[in-house]
A and B are shown apart, each in its own frame.
Chain A
């Protein structure tokens, strides 16, 4: 039986960090993730963890210290948001390329400008091609659970991992949560024993080569394979976590999809709002459902195709915009998944929603389903690139 608590998403993640007791944390304050290093440095200063905390002078250095520490042979962690994640971007690519399973907690927030401290996904989506595994949480519980699974997944494929939750919406909201006992966490996460590491007196290691065109592409192909292999690892670790806690995780979650005719594809906390909207619509007899993407990297193309294959119409909800005059990033990936699988039946549209903390209400989602119902009836999608809840 787990331990019942009431924690904010940030505190839940910090608590998971404490239970794991990693070797090194390098972090820098930024709203709304600041609380994570705050809570954690309190654990450090009270001797509740053995971790060495490096209060660096920037997010760039936070990720740089993590790269140094993880390459040295340690578990290294950090936490950030928004512009902080942007500022780390260069180092994110290096961490992935160096094949270092660093764990980064992200409390997602809009990007400047205009400056805005509230939630959307433009920070995380901006680094979606950096080569990191990326798991998104709907609730505080999921943020905590994902964090406990993070190192198992990352270390199995030697790729870094981002554990994303929605800034303020889950990071600062206090919810009931079920914590896993310390000894169970320790046994589940295990010890870190890298095969190669800098501080190995018996084998020097060189990290960060200059690779000429002769080698660069082979190196990237191997890195791509690790991302492909991660799909099974995420499922396996999610299942094992389920055996321990009763909460099983895969790459996506399907809600009311069995007989659904209209569906939305969504990430993060708004899935909760959408589920409520679906409950109300189902009560009215509407066949509506939801696909929640938990793993954005690797992208669960096959799972999404199977889930959407037989529906009439769907909307992909992007909490950020690619500003390509066309669509948001998840729509592009969902559409590409269907096309690659030869599935052309379902009509798809894209909504850009919730930018910079714009409230996502049950009615907002119901509006989307109303539009989908029209598309299902007429077969006409109309404009596929749409903004939700924006004043006209």
Chain B
């Protein structure tokens, strides 16, 4: 019987649910899209970005990935809730909040 979080769907029966609602994996919330909460969307102007990385630690949603070379990549819009902290933290005005069209 599967004890994987992905199989604990809203249809799971009492015989199949994990005991105590315990979960035996880490980071299963990575399956959850929170980007659809967004009303404003951060957009990075790559020309203005100096890769100072000050936008990275201020993100509450781990939505600014940093690669192996230590450079930030584009936003993870699957998680980003559009709070705008990164845009305000950017010293170079490289991040603009725009209306999110869905």
**Residues in B neighbouring A97, C-beta threshold 8 A:** 20
Docked complex: A89-148 residues within 8 A CB-CB of B: 97-100
Bits for B1-33, please: 1 = Cβ < 8 Å to A, else 0: 000000010101111010111111110000000
Given contacts A204-B26, A206-B26, whether A218 and B20 have CB atoms under 8 Å apart is no
Task: Determine if B21 and A215 form an interchain contact, defined as CB atoms under 8 angstroms apart.
Answer: yes
Closest to A200 in B: B24
Chain B residues whose C-beta falls within 8 Å of the C-beta of A98 in the assembled complex: 20, 22
Given the known interface contacts A204-B26, A206-B26, the answer about A214 and B10 at a Cβ–Cβ threshold of 8 Å is yes
Query: What 0/1 pattern do residues 195 to 234 of A give for CB contact below 8 A with B?
Result: 0100000011111010100110111011101000000000
Hey, which chain B residues are within 8 Å of A204, CB to CB?
A: 24-26
Do B17 and A206 touch across chains, with their CB atoms under 8 A apart? no
Instruction: Please state if A99 and B19 are interface contacts (CB–CB under 8 Å).
Output: yes
B5 to chain A, nearest CB (A): 9
Residues from chain A with a CB closer than 8 A to the CB of B10 are: 214-215
A360 to B13, CA, bound (A): 49
| Cα distance A217–B17 in the bound complex, in angstroms | 10
A351 to B8, CA, bound (A): 48
B interface SS class: loop
A220 vs B59: C-alpha distance when bound (angstroms)? 37
Q: How many residues of B contact A (CB 8 A)?
A: 15
Q: Give the docked Cα–Cα distance between A100 and B21 (Å).
A: 12
Q: From known contacts A218-B12, A221-B14, A222-B14, infer whether A211 and B22 are also in contact, taking CB-CB under 8 Å.
A: no
- Shortest CB distance B45–A (Å): 38
The one of B17, B21, B22 that contacts A196, using a Cβ cutoff of 8 Å = B22
B14, B23, B24: the one within 8 Å of A218 (CB): B14
A196 touches B12 (CB 8 A): no
Check if B20 sits within 8 Å of A203, measured CB to CB: no
Would you give the shortest CB distance from A69 to chain B, in whole angstroms?
16
CB neighbours of A211 from chain B (8 A): 21
Task: Find chain A residues with CB under 8 A from B20 CB.
Answer: 97-100, 158, 207, 219, 223
Chain A residues, CB < 8 A from B13: 218
Closest chain A residue, CB of each to CB of B17: A218
> Which residues of B approach A to under 8 Å, CB–CB?
8, 10, 12-15, 17, 19-26
Shortest Cβ-Cβ A-B pairs, 7 listed? A204-B26, A221-B14, A99-B20, A218-B14, A209-B21, A206-B23, A218-B17
Given contacts A99-B22, A203-B25, A215-B10, 7 further A-B contacts (CB under 8 A): A100-B20, A196-B22, A205-B24, A206-B24, A217-B14, A221-B14, A225-B14
6 A-B pairs within 8 Å (CB atoms) are namely A99-B20, A206-B25, A207-B20, A219-B17, A222-B17, A222-B19
